[in-house]
C-alpha cells in the first residue's frame, strides 16, 4: 500500500501500537529517563501520597484490599480498592465505579488540589488511575520513534474518551487512532486494514 517494502515484502514505514485490555501482554512498566520520585521531589510526593491515603480512608466500599499506591518507573498508580484484590473483587469495584464514578470524582479532587504542580491524571483499566508528570503520557513513545522515520503510526486503544489513558495518543496528530473494545475486534480491524 505505497509504503517502503523490505526485501521480505514487509511494509517497514508503518508502525502499529496497541493498548487493549484483555491482550496477553505483561503489565505496563513505563520506563522514563528519570523516575517520578526524582521528578516530583520528596516533599510533593509525600504531600500527594498523604492526600490520597487520607481521601481513600473516607471512601466506603464493599471491599478494600492492599497496595493502594503503587510506584511504577514513570508514574504512580492509585487504586481505591487496592491492587491486591481478586478478579471477582475487581469486577465488583468496576461495576460500582461505573455507577458511582469513584475514580472520576477522586481525579477531579486531585486536579483541583494539585493544580499547577505539573501532574497529569489518567483513568484506565478497571480499578485504578495513573498519575504522571505532564508530558509523560503515552505520547512519550512517539518522540522516541520519530527518528525511525515511519510514515504512518496506527494506535489501537480501548480507553480513548477524554480522561481515558489512551485519549492523548489516540488524538495526537502523529497517529491514526482506532477505538476498539476487545482483542477480537482489534484483530478483525487489523485484518481489514492490513490484510484485505
- Return the closest-CA partner of residue 101 out of 69, 71, 144, 59: 59
149 is in an annotated binding site: no
175 is in an annotated binding site: yes
- In this structure, the dihedral spanned by the alpha carbons of residues 45, 140, 188 and 164, taken in order and rounded to 10 degrees, is 40
Instruction: Tell me which DSSP letter residue 176 carries.
Output: E
166 is in an annotated binding site: no
- Classify residue 137 as left (phi > 0), alpha (psi -120 to 50) or beta: beta
128 is in an annotated binding site: yes
Q: How many CA atoms lie within 13 A of 168 on its CB side?
A: 16
Count the Cβ atoms, other than its own, within 10 Å of residue 104. 14
139 is in an annotated binding site: no
167 is in an annotated binding site: no
Count the Cβ atoms, other than its own, within 10 Å of residue 119. 22
55 is in an annotated binding site: no
- Return the closest-CA partner of residue 128 out of 174, 159, 160, 171: 159
Q: Residues with catalytic annotation?
A: 19, 21
72 is in an annotated binding site: yes
Annotated binding site for Mg(2+): 158, 170, 172, 175
Annotated binding site for alpha-D-mannose 1-phosphate: 72, 83, 90, 128, 130
Annotated binding site: 72, 83, 90, 128, 130, 158, 170, 172, 175
Amino acid at each position: 500500500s505505497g509504503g517502503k517494502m523490505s526485501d521480505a515484502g514487509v511494509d517497514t514505514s508503518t508502525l502499529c501500537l496497541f493498548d487493549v485490555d484483555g491482550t496477553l501482554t505483561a503489565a505496563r512498566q513505563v520506563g522514563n529517563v528519570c523516575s517520578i520520585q526524582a521528578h516530583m521531589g520528596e516533599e510533593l510526593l509525600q504531600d500527594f501520597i498523604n492526600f490520597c491515603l487520607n481521601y481513600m480512608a473516607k471512601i466506603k466500599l464493599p471491599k478494600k484490599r492492599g497496595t493502594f499506591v503503587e510506584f511504577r518507573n514513570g508514574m504512580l498508580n492509585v487504586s481505591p480498592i487496592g491492587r491486591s484484590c481478586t478478579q471477582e473483587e475487581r469486577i465488583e469495584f468496576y461495576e460500582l465505579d461505573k455507577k458511582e464514578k469513584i475514580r472520576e470524582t477522586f481525579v477531579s479532587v486531585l486536579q483541583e488540589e494539585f493544580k499547577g504542580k505539573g501532574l497529569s491524571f489518567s483513568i484506565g483499566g478497571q480499578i485504578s488511575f495513573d498519575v504522571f508528570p505532564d508530558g509523560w503520557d503515552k505520547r512519550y513513545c512517539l518522540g522516541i520513534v520519530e527518528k525511525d522515520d515511519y510514515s504512518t503510526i496506527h494506535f489501537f486503544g480501548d480507553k480513548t474518551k477524554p480522561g481515558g489513558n489512551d485519549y492523548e495518543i489516540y488524538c495526537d496528530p502523529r497517529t491514526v487512532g482506532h477505538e476498539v473494545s476487545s482483542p477480537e475486534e482489534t484483530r478483525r480491524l487489523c485484518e481489514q486494514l492490513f490484510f484485505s
